Structure 1
Amino acid sequence: MTEGLTFSDPRLAELDGFRVTLDAANERADIVLDRPPYNVISMEARDQLRLVFEALDEDDRVRIIVLSGAGEHFSSGGNIKGFLEATPEHVSKLAWNVAAPARCTKPVIAANRGFTFGVGFELSLACDFRIVSETCRYALPEQKLGQIPGSGGSARLQKIVGVTRTKDIVMRSKRIAGQQALDWGIATECVPDADLEQVVSDLVTELRGFSPMAQRTAKKLLNDTEDALLTTAIELEGLNYSRLRQSDDFREGVEAFHEKRKPQFTGR
């Protein structure tokens, strides 16, 4: 289901287990996993989610994308039986599909509550911000199936928490509560369950106040330099800083600062 949006790709004519809505007034798009009660993510949905992220990235009405789950849980993970039915070619594309939030040039916020397991956790790890409720439980339970995470989960997690904690989570299929996820640097913020939507909305409003160009640049720079040498990262940072100095948004930001007013950024 889509509200306020029309996708040209025929593969998105009927969405499998999720819906997409547009709040044009707030430049916000919501992708809501909606297959009650646990929002299991099918193989087809992974393909469609990638296509939706790509379409929203090209939509000028959208500044911020929020990924959430309907009900008490974000997602208990993937359709287990689907792994045995999928072709090797299809399975080989899973990590590329799940990485769509990271490739998206716009800020992506994951709102996590309840079970956030398997591919649900992996999708969230590919987002820029993870706002979790106190009910959130992160897990990569693939060891219980005789498998390992296959869509970037262990790799992304190791970058965040290090190899020791990643082994503890992956090799024991350990569940991590929301507050612990915050303490370990996995979550951006942990809030009472009743406050989750409001905190996410406040973050959307905050992010909309910055220059779209500066945010796109910051996201790409941080993603591109995650594995870089410090000297390389500093060089790339300087080059991007120099490029932004030529932008209209930077000039507007400086002028607004001196005039003690709120800047009106245009993304140019």
Structure 2
Amino acid sequence: MTTILKHPFSNILDNPDGFYVEINESQQRADIVLKRPPFNVIQMPQRDQLRAAFEALDADDRIRIIVLRAEGEHFSSGGDIKGFLEATPEHVSKLAWNVAAPTRCTKPVIAANHGYCFGVGFEISLACDFRIAAESTLYALPEQKLGQIPGSGGSARLQKMIGITRTKDIVMRSRRIKGQQAYEWGVATECVPDSELASAVSKLVDELRSFSPLAQRTAKKMLNETEDCLLTTAIEVEGHCYSRLRNSEDFKEGVEAFHGKRQPNFVGR
């Protein structure tokens, strides 16, 4: 007897809560846009939906680059405080997994930050591959003021980026740092005037689209998986990845384009 199975999350994206998705096929770009003015507070159910949105876009062949951005004055002031008290321990234990969706995504993910970027808003931005910060951006992990600590990977990711001393300064003092300082510390990829945020993101999207999709996926996976490795192990993994790409159509095309002094036409194989 044949049984029809139904996935428990099959309709999770039917009614996005606090965000929407834009797809620009000509640019091979998808934008996940936070929209819950004025502070774009991220609700508990929204975290599951955001994870599902990243997974759906990762599987969409039309998309090369994903951008996480927000409407209004602020990127996000963080999560719904009351929601933490109402959520079950089992649900809370999944918060970091949901927020890590941009990291697990095989495609490049860009966070476009402006205004308040606090709590989970900061944590999900840290899970992205690139953070373009407007000058108005204020980053913070303010959980100490609530008698808590960051619970979605924020302190762990930050410590990898900037070291324990600066991470303690941010986490243990609930300190806010501006976009320019975040850039100087290595948290932000770039810091630009607010009026140039959209154009800076578009420029980065176009740049990333010019590379081989296969090489991009390989580089992201390799860098993520070797972050905690010994140097010798990381070098060996890099060598294996290089060897696999050596036989790809994109590498052959890249070499031929280089010698032919033309732009390559990468196909992702």
Q: Which amino acid aligns with 1:37?
A: P
Matched, 1:30 2:31: yes
Residue in 1 that maps onto 2:231: 230
What's the Cα RMSD here?
0.7
Deviations 1:171-222 (A, max 9, x none): 0000010000000000000000000000000100010000000000000000
Residue in 1 that maps onto 2:199: 198
Deviation at 1:168, TM superposition (A): 0.2
| Matched residue count | 261
Deviations 1:21-64 (A, max 9, x none): 10011000000010000000000000000001000000000000
Give the 3-state SS of the residue equivalent to 1:40 in structure 2.
coil
Partner Cα separation in structure 2 for residue 182 and residue 200 of structure 1: 15
Q: Which amino acid aligns with 1:88?
A: P
Partner Cα separation in structure 2 for residue 100 and residue 123 of structure 1: 8
Residue in 1 that maps onto 2:61: 60
Q: Which amino acid aligns with 2:62?
A: R
Q: Which amino acid aligns with 1:207?
A: L
Residue in 2 that maps onto 1:151: 152
Residue in 2 that maps onto 1:117: 118
Partner Cα separation in structure 2 for residue 242 and residue 13 of structure 1: 42
Partner Cα separation in structure 2 for residue 166 and residue 69 of structure 1: 25
Matched, 1:21 2:28: no
Residue in 2 that maps onto 1:5: none
Residue in 1 that maps onto 2:79: 78
List gaps (5 residues or longer) in structure 2. Answer: 1-8
Give the 3-state SS of the residue equivalent to 2:12 in structure 1.
helix
Give the 3-state SS of the residue equivalent to 1:155 in structure 2.
helix
Q: Which amino acid aligns with 2:144?
A: Q
Residue pairs, 1:78-117, within 5 angstroms = 78-117=79-118
List gaps (5 residues or longer) in structure 1. Answer: 1-7
Partner Cα separation in structure 2 for residue 226 and residue 84 of structure 1: 34
Partner Cα separation in structure 2 for residue 33 and residue 239 of structure 1: 39
Partner Cα separation in structure 2 for residue 234 and residue 11 of structure 1: 40
Runs of 4+ aligned structure 1 residues displaced above 2 Å come to none
Partner Cα separation in structure 1 for residue 57 and residue 86 of structure 2: 30
TM-score, normalised by the number of residues in structure 2: 0.96
Deviation at 1:72, TM superposition (A): 1.2
TM-score, normalised by the number of residues in structure 1: 0.97
Q: Which amino acid aligns with 1:118?
A: G
Residue in 2 that maps onto 1:4: none
Give the 3-state SS of the residue equivalent to 1:190 in structure 2.
strand
Residue in 2 that maps onto 1:3: none
Partner Cα separation in structure 1 for residue 72 and residue 247 of structure 2: 46
Partner Cα separation in structure 2 for residue 47 and residue 194 of structure 1: 32
Partner Cα separation in structure 2 for residue 29 and residue 157 of structure 1: 26
Partner Cα separation in structure 2 for residue 132 and residue 179 of structure 1: 8
Deviation at 1:9, TM superposition (A): 2.9
Partner Cα separation in structure 1 for residue 44 and residue 229 of structure 2: 33
Residue in 2 that maps onto 1:130: 131
Matched, 1:256 2:257: yes
Q: Which amino acid aligns with 1:237?
A: E
Identity among equivalent positions (%) equals 74
Partner Cα separation in structure 2 for residue 225 and residue 78 of structure 1: 31
Residue in 1 that maps onto 2:5: none
Deviation at 1:157, TM superposition (A): 0.1
